[in-house]
Structure 1
Amino acid sequence: MFDSRHIRTFDEVVRAGSYSAAARALGYTQPAITQQMKALERAVGTPLFIRVGRRMRLTEAGEALSRHAGVILDSIAAAQQQMAAITGLRAGRVRVCAFPSAGATLVPEALARLAVEHPGVRVELQESEPPESLERLVRGECDITLAFTYPGLQEQVPDELVEIPLMEDQLTVLLPAGHPMVWRRAVKLEELAHERWIAGCLRCRSNFLHECAELGFAPDIVFTTDDNLVIQSLVAEGLGIAMMPGLVLSFLVHEKVTGRALDPASRRQVSAYVLREHLDIPATALVLEGLRSVAANREGC
């Protein structure tokens, strides 16, 4: 294995023509140059210089190494510049996997701030619901995962992941505009036991069924879809009502749909997850801080 310092010294010896001239150029003593060249020759397993009178001449191995030395040093310099850009947040890549409502709310606002303050940091977006999104993180397919958990359900998070709580997202009920309860500020879930329901993703559906069971009824689920826009359209057409996260209310697209909070309040925990060692990567830490800031502002509204 070559030592980059020895390659740099070797290149200067070739350029200067002697150990003493190289020592003057690099600010070393001549014995230090000699020691480095001996160490380099031990590493390559053959002499690099021979003396011809008072001059030094490259051996065949020395000539071969000389042809590569400039490329090696240029590559090291380029790598050092790129590392400095990444650690200085002038460059970098972060892969973020988010569930749909977070991807439509928390993520864009955080990335807008990032684009202004650190335009060289690029973010790649992925979309997936937990637990699949957490499994992607463990497999190394993303760097940050946004996922949610419900207090009434047992959640198994892989041991190698670190959870960074972001916010509590209050659950709401989506009602069609003509529903008799749209005039209330909040609704009780048990009062809607007779309704037809539209259920969401597997984790949300499990929580919904759990909350209904706690109140003593089994809901009549007539449609199931992971697509929030489809759910809104179904509710708008009067085909059912749905229990949805509060984050969804910020991108309601149907005038015929209204969201009402639950009484008593029901919430889910929204968190970011990373592999422990990724907390020390500057670009990842920067994106996490942006998500924390955006989530804190939303929760405080």
Structure 2
Amino acid sequence: MDPQHLRTFVAVVDHRSFSAAAQALGYTQSAVSQHIASLETDLETPLLTRRPVAPTQAGERLLEHARPLLLRLDAARADIARLRQVRPGRLALACTPGALTPATALALVRARTAAPQLAASMRVCGSTEAIRAVLTGAADLALVDGAVAPSDPLALPDAGSLPAFPVSEEPLAVLLPATHPLAGRPVLRLADLAAARWIDAPDAAVPLAQLRAAARSDGFGHQLTYAGTDIRGLSVLVAAGAGLTTAALPAAEDLPGIAAVPITEPRVVHRTELLHPRTPTTLAAELVDTLRPAQ
């Protein structure tokens, strides 16, 4: 299979249109049609229905393989480029909202101050996007966060062979409206909140699936999904009574209209890890050393 034909196939599925995929890829529509036809000939089965444009059963199965295959190809290209120190004057950091701390920002500012010609950037995004950015070379480093048992590493199945190390572990808190009946409690058990209404905010807070696993409960239902990465925007929804969410305790203590109550059971912490390539650029390696905790 030609990798470029696989990219075309994924683009058609994502856009649900041959013409939109052609525009996104910079191809003619006839070229897109030829790529799909070549794949279907190679695999001896239809991969897409045309009206409407959608993957067939075989197309769905190919899609499961195509996305990780293309990601690994992009990762290989980026890995080789790093050996050649491509873009040595750039330092790009991808960061999940909960991993963005004053210490992180200060480290990036110091790196920029030490190298005035440095093109430094920080992108706040979900963990999957942050990891993908490092794998493909769009970012030099990634800071990601999540909820785990103390000293346990984050479960990052998409990280491939990226080395990681912990940057911090902090208490995990439940965020409630300041007027909530439980807002005055010194601590809370996570299982006691399983029947509460939650906000599903996978890119800005601990995913609800992780809370269910930690509490060993089928609860934590939600009626609202928050697709953003702005923790303060999420806190506005919590303060208005839209549902509960979680955050690292230090980051939540100054949010207006919010009570941040630490979780005491089960024993979970908010953990932040830094992921970097096996061969980081010189500037990235210096930032890694800055963020690595003292042993």
Of the three residues 104, 107, 121, the one matched with 2:104 is: 107
Partners of 2:185 and 2:282 in 1: CA distance: 47
Residue aligning to 2:251: 248
Residue aligning to 1:291: 291
For the residue of structure 2 that corresponds to 1:263, the secondary structure is: strand
Of the three residues 263, 272, 275, the one matched with 2:274 is: 272
Residue aligning to 1:220: 221
CA contact (8 A) 1:174 1:257 kept: yes
1:207 Cα offset (Å): 0.7
Residue aligning to 1:209: 212
CA contact (8 A) 2:148 2:268 kept: no
Residue aligning to 2:261: 260
Q: Does 1:97 align with 2:94?
A: yes
Residue aligning to 1:197: 198
Residue aligning to 1:6: none
What's the TM-score, normalizing by structure 1? Answer: 0.58
Residue aligning to 2:37: none
Residue aligning to 1:239: 242
Q: 1:96 to 1:155 in 2, by over 3 A?
A: closer
Q: Structure 1: any 5+ residue segments left out of the alignment?
A: 1-85, 297-301
Q: Deviations over 1:189-216 (max 9, x none)?
A: 122233221122166222123224x1x4
- Aligned length in residues: 199
Residue aligning to 2:34: none
Residue aligning to 1:123: 120
Instruction: Report the structure, 1 or 2, having the larger helix content.
Output: 1
Q: 1:232 to 1:109 in 2, by over 3 A?
A: same
Partners of 2:187 and 2:136 in 1: CA distance: 42
1:183 Cα offset (Å): 2.1
Partners of 1:277 and 1:154 in 2: CA distance: 22
What's the TM-score, normalizing by structure 2? Answer: 0.59
Q: Structure 2: any 5+ residue segments left out of the alignment?
A: 1-84
- The sequence identity of aligned pairs, in percent, is 22
Cα RMSD (Å):
2.7
Partners of 2:192 and 2:236 in 1: CA distance: 23
For the residue of structure 1 that corresponds to 2:142, the secondary structure is: strand
Of the three residues 134, 138, 144, the one matched with 1:137 is: 134
CA contact (8 A) 1:150 1:267 kept: yes
Q: 1:116 to 1:133 in 2, by over 3 A?
A: closer
Q: Deviations over 1:205-246 (max 9, x none)?
A: 22123224x1x4512312121442232111111232222233
CA contact (8 A) 1:199 1:243 kept: no
1:174 Cα offset (Å): 0.6
